[in-house]
Amino acid sequence: MFAQQLVNGLVVGSTYALFALGFTLMFGVLGVINLTYGFYLSVGAFLALFATQHGVSIWLALPLAALASGCVAVLIDGLLLTPLRRAKAPELASLMVTLGATLLLYSLANAALSTDIRRFPPGVIDANALEIAGIRITMTQCLIIAAAGIIVSVLLWVMNGARIGLGLRALAERPDAAALMGVNAGALVRLVSLASGTLAGASGVLIGLNYNAIQPYMGEVMMLKGFAVIILGGLGDIRGALVAGLVVGMLETLTAGYVASSWKDAVGFVLLVLTLWIRPSGLFGRLAVKRA
Amino acid sequence: MPEFLDDFLFTYQTLIYALGVNGLLALSMYVVLALGQLSLGQAAFMGLGAYVSALLTVKLGLPFPLVLLAAMLAPALAALCVGAPTLRLSGVYLALATIGLGEVQRIFFINSELTGGALGLSGIPTKGGLISIYGSLALALIAFAFVARSKIGRAMEAMREDELAAGALGVDLPAYKLGALVVSAMLAGLAGALNAHVSSFISPNDYGFDAAVTILSFALLGGIGSPFGPVLGAFILTLLPEVLRPLADYKTVVNGSIIVLAVIFMPRGLLAWRMGRAGAATGRPK
């Protein structure tokens, strides 16, 4: 029973980690809290839903929907945040702009799609389950863990191993100096938007598959959890977001299993408040102190 | 009271109360924004005030002024708990922590027996009215107008324009920020309590994320150059769906667009003028 809960927690946790990764990447490199981020999750889930309804296999629908969400992210970033970046507006200005945009986007999505809960067509994914030592793992859960694992490894390799990652880290450290050193800042900003939007979209498809429930506001629900995860992991900390996502997913599942499922949504926020009190820099973080 | 005025008040009672309450909420947002901080917990503070006051009135039958006092102190305490650790960090942390506060509180209200769960509390006796709502609004406005012209107001403006420079010039940043957040929470709590005692019914989802964003849009529409701006913004945004009925369904679209446009195109809001101060040059800021 406990082992089964752990596996379920791992599945939920890896979707959280995937989602939080894009969010923290956006903050870490671009320096903004982009609240429209959760919307890309809804975009990804809906695109995959529509694709599978038209007979596209989930194996193709997942990457396509994820990439398309990434493109939406690039578009929205270009419309809303590039002007502010150019004007060197304070960080709270970009937070507020994306806040307004979030409200706008969700209302429009809501008007266009209605809040009805939709489900993937039956048979989208093999309904069989593996049984290992009494623990049931569905094919969906396998897909989630595998997809999350692949995406995370690629991202870690790009950030730490590839030349482009060096540019990204330089951009995160000191945008103006990076630009002077020949880093194409504009292109990298778009690349980061694309990557994080893709992460959100992918997690949207996987979360949609896991609960088999898709509705426009699913991104907003996740967004609130995303805050808790990235604060626990340390703002902008990729490794932290990964671990914190798994921890929050695990604890939520265990709370639902052993306490009460109605309290599971509070787990993330309790952790958030505790982190801010005890260790505001997050699990592994050093606190960035603003100096003149 | 003349009869036509009586009729008018009766017909538009709900709207008139909502205008005053939203004015107070806008002011509570103003206090924080005026220092260049962003709190997304105004709806949570309001909800805390509403629930505390409703419970004290319904379960204990305390006198109304005492209830209002408690409805201000409870959110103030919550603000201290959230603000003390986060206000020393960059502004983003306060915004995220206050969102967290709102969610924890909403989940608590939904799950707790005491607060009536998802159905909320109903049958709260009507205690407030025009005098308590608009009296509070007027008092708060007058107080803020005086503060804006004082040394404190100058410090607040300096912080908004350049926090580092203000700190270097001796403004006690953490104290000002915490003070502003506590005052703002008290105002929001008061607004929540007054609202609960004129509308007789409150539920957890009235104080969620959307409500927090709406309160922010009041302040951004009006601009934060003076305390009058946000109140005007609140009045406009409260009246708009009433005047233009078809707009009522698109309230969130309108609020969202206002925030986006306000930040990108008119960062100083509709009322771009700021308070003149004794001894200050009258030139407009650049």
More confident residue, B182 or A185: B182
Domain holding B114, by residue range, is 15-206
Does position A45 have pLDDT exceeding 50, yes or no?
Answer: yes
Q: Is A280 on the interface with B (CB under 8 A)?
A: yes
Q: What is the SS3 assignment for B40?
A: coil
Among the residue ranges A253-257, B8-12, B36-40, B103-107, the one predicted with the least confidence is B8-12
The CA-atom distances, in angstroms, between A247 and each of A239, A255, A268, A285, B227 are 12, 12, 9, 16, 44
Q: Per DSSP, what are the bridge partners of residue B201?
A: B122
Sorted by where each starts, the structural domains of chain A and their CATH numbers stand as 2-278 (1.10.3470)
Own/partner long-range contacts of B138-141 (Cβ < 8 Å, ≥24 apart): B140/B24, B140/B27, B140/B187, B140/B227, B141/B27, B141/B227, B141/B228, B141/B231
| Mean pLDDT score of chain A | 84
pLDDT the model gives residue A291: 42
H or E segment at B122? strand B121-122
pLDDT the model gives residue B280: 42
Mean pLDDT to the nearest integer, A79-96: 78
Domain membership of residue B173 (yes or no) is yes
Domain membership of residue B276 (yes or no) is no
Domain membership of residue B269 (yes or no) is no
Residue that the structure tokens 């107001």 belong to? B153
Domain membership of residue B213 (yes or no) is no
d(CA A52, CA B180): 52
Q: Is A273 on the interface with B (CB under 8 A)?
A: yes
The closest CB to that of A276, out of B37, B86, B263, belongs to B86
Q: How many domains are contained in chain B?
A: 1
Does position A5 have pLDDT exceeding 90, yes or no?
Answer: no
The total of other beta-carbon atoms located within 10 Å of residue B162's CB is 14
d(CA A273, CA B261): 32
Does position B73 have pLDDT exceeding 90, yes or no?
Answer: yes
pLDDT the model gives residue B100: 81
pLDDT the model gives residue B183: 93
Does position A64 have pLDDT exceeding 90, yes or no?
Answer: yes
pLDDT the model gives residue B269: 53
Check A107 against B96: CB less than 8 A apart.
Answer: no
Q: Is B117 on the interface with A (CB under 8 A)?
A: no
Check B257 against A288: CB less than 8 A apart.
Answer: no
Domain membership of residue B229 (yes or no) is no
Domain membership of residue B282 (yes or no) is no
B170-215 tens-digit pLDDT: 888 888 888 899 999 999 999 999 998 888 888 888 888 888 888 8
CA distance B164 to chain A (A): 6
Mean pLDDT to the nearest integer, A193-204: 92
The closest CB to that of A100, out of B96, B164, B259, belongs to B259
Confidence band of A285 (pLDDT split at 50, 70, 90) = low
pLDDT the model gives residue A164: 77
Domain membership of residue B165 (yes or no) is yes
Domain membership of residue B270 (yes or no) is no
